[in-house]
């Protein structure tokens, strides 16, 4: 499969644009907010977060009304016998609880199906992140199992993760 080159993707209320340096100041500010950072592991500083968000060039800025409102990362597994895409997403506090995360995920998943030939997708929120689990379920993701002591939280305590997956035909 060809190297991942991210396009600009448009949906009804948002644009997914390949992440650029110009997006990073706004996104670091949004993701450094305690309500978001709580779910981002043990990122030590805004500079470390900036590097994480770059995601080796495999990330979108989620734009709403021309403003960087969030971030969406994609990792492709291209080994033919295990081919799938893993996703990660975060929205700034001003853009939560409006269905924008679900809309962004549907948009990128449709592209990954139609243009990249993927049939299965994974995402792994913290078990305790009920907002994320609800959003992912609304897109069609299903729980696969609990990943015990999966990720170290901001307080240094290991927290459980929830592995969820979605098959292309289950997209809602």
pLDDT in tens, 27-86: 999 999 988 988 887 777 899 899 999 998 899 999 999 999 999 999 999 899 999 999
What are 104-116's pLDDT values in tens digits?
Answer: 999 999 999 999 9
In a domain, 126, yes or no: yes
Domain span holding position 164: 9-170
In a domain, 3, yes or no: no
How many structural domains is the chain composed of?
Answer: 1
Cβ-contact 168, 115 below 8 angstroms: no
Say which CATH number the domain at 18 has.
3.40.630.30
In a domain, 166, yes or no: yes
**pLDDT surpassing 80 at residue 87:** yes
pTM: 0.93
In a domain, 159, yes or no: yes
In a domain, 92, yes or no: yes
In a domain, 4, yes or no: no
pLDDT of residue 2: 65
What are 115-138's pLDDT values in tens digits?
Answer: 999 999 999 999 999 999 999 999
Which are the contacts of 121, defined by CB distance < 8 A and separation ≥ 6?
Answer: 84, 85, 86, 87, 109, 112, 141, 165, 166, 167
Cα(106)–Cα(119) distance, integer angstroms: 13
In a domain, 117, yes or no: yes
User: ∠ CA 166-122-158 to the nearest 5 degrees?
Assistant: 135
| Band of pLDDT at residue 170, cut at 50, 70 and 90 | very high
């Amino acid at each position: 499969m060809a190297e991942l080159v991210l396009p600009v993707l448009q949906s009804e209320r948002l644009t997914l644009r390949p992440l650029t340096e110009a997006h990073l100041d706004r996104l670091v500010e949004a993701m450094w907010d305690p309500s978001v950072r709580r779910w981002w592991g043990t990122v030590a500083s805004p500079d470390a977060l900036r590097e994480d968000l770059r995601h080796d060039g495999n990330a979108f800025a989620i734009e709403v009304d021309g403003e960087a409102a969030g971030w969406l990362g994609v990792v492709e597994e291209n080994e033919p016998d295990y081919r799938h895409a893993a996703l990660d997403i975060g929205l700034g506090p001003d853009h939560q609880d409006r269905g924008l995360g679900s809309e962004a995920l549907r948009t990128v998943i449709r592209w990954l199906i139609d243009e990249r030939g993927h049939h299965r997708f994974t995402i792994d929120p913290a078990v305790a992140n009920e907002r994320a689990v609800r959003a992912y379920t609304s897109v069609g993701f299903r729980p696969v199992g609990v990943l015990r002591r999966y990720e170290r939280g901001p307080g240094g305590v290991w927290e459980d993760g929830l592995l969820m997956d979605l098959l292309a035909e289950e997209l809602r």
